[in-house]
Amino acid sequence: MPRLDVDGLDVVHLQCHLGTDTLSLARLGARVTGLDLSGDAIAAAQDLAARAGTDVEYVVSDVYSSVDVLGPARFDLVYTGIGALCWLPSIDRWAQTVAGLLRPGGRLFVRDAHPVLLASLGMVVGEEHPDRSQQSWITAPGRATPALELPYFEQPEPLHWNDTSTYTGGDEAVAAPLSVEWNHGLGEIVTAVLDAGLEVTGLHEHDSVPWDALPGLMTYDPATGECRLTDRPERLPASFTLTARLTPRA
């Protein structure tokens, strides 16, 4: 995975949530601003930073308003972490926002769940596949495997979910169980970044992700703190890292 040198940089962490990555960026020497839609999340992030004795600026705002709220061309780096892009309806508008926040030559760093993973559900195979006579490792009937069941490409309408428990695995019921998500294909993400005037400097796909995204099908690796498919992890891109640079105008 690409290393991120942020010492001395002005950094904005979009969709910072509870601010754990934001705090890490500050500890690496950056002057960091964390931005999130949720006032409760920002309050928790501010408390965490205060208890850690680390100076971080936090702002409550939706992503698409961040240029108006924070100011244009203010940052050397825009950082977006795991579990962020799926909450945004338009990847094009997100990329334009990133470009608006960056100074000329400024960089973008994104690591997020891979859209193939976000389009997958664990399903049980019902019938024998004829190719299994040649490739014996193809999943047999009665066994569970990832299946592409959800949209891969960005859709006008979101997926609606009604989950009464939190995705972090706790037993406490959530106060607002309704949520909506949009997936964005990897090509859509890259094209949006290019169309916004950035030059892609790296794109890496990984077979792991830092949570149990497909319960019953993944194994946690304590050495990396991430989960990957237990059976043949090489078949599923679970996350990706994208780096880009805003091309200075001539």
Domain boundaries, the chain: 10-246
Q: Hey, what are 199's tokens?
A: 């030059």
What is the model's pLDDT at position 167? Answer: 66
Per-position DSSP letters for 196-209, written without gaps between them: TTEEEEEEEEES-B
Q: 112, 80 in Cβ contact below 8 A?
A: yes
Residue bearing the bigger pLDDT, 165 or 139: 139
Q: Residue 30: what pLDDT?
A: 97
Q: What is the pLDDT of residue 169?
A: 64
What angle, rounded to 10 degrees, do the helices at 91-101 and 186-195 form? 40
| Residue carrying the six token digits 């024998």 | 128
Question: So what's the pLDDT on residue 147?
Answer: 98
Q: Read out DSSP for 115-133?
A: HHHHTEEEEE--S--GGGG
Local structure of 227: helix, strand or coil:
strand
Task: Round to whole Å and give the CA distance between 154 and 151.
Answer: 7
pLDDT band at 96 (very low <50, low <70, confident <90, very high): very high
Least confident segment among 8-12, 104-108, 142-146, 174-178 = 174-178
Residue 176 belongs to what H/E stretch? none
Look at residues 141, 108, 143 and name the one whose alpha carbon lies nearest to residue 122: 143
**What is the mean predicted confidence (pLDDT) over 52-73?**
97
**Is a pLDDT exceeding 80 seen at residue 249?**
no
Q: Tell me which residue has tokens 């010492």.
A: 7
Please determine, for residue 142, whether its predicted confidence score (pLDDT) is greater than 60: yes
Q: Helix H segments across the chain?
A: 20-27, 39-52, 66-70, 91-101, 115-118, 186-195
Give residue-wise pLDDT tens across range 205-240. Answer: 999 999 999 999 999 999 999 999 999 999 999 999
pLDDT for residue 250 = 62
Residues 39-62: tens digit of each pLDDT = 999 999 999 999 999 999 999 999
φ/ψ region of 29 (left if φ > 0, alpha if ψ in -120 to 50, else beta) reads left
Q: Report pLDDT digits (tens) over 164-192.
A: 877 666 677 777 889 999 999 999 999 99
* Encoded tokens for 222: 């304590």
3-state secondary structure of 216: coil
Which distant-in-sequence residues (6+ apart) come within 8 Å of 195 by Cβ? 92, 95
Fold of 10-246: Rossmann fold (3.40.50)
* Helix, strand or coil, per DSSP, at residue 237: coil
pLDDT number for residue 1:
54
Integer Cα distance of 155 and 145 in angstroms: 25
Distance (Å, whole) CA 58 – CA 21? 13
Indicate the pairing of strand 226-229 with strand 218-221.
Answer: antiparallel
pLDDT at 225: 96
Please tell me the distance from the alpha carbon of residue 21 to that of residue 6, in angstroms, as a whole number: 13
Whether residue 109 has pLDDT greater than 90 = yes
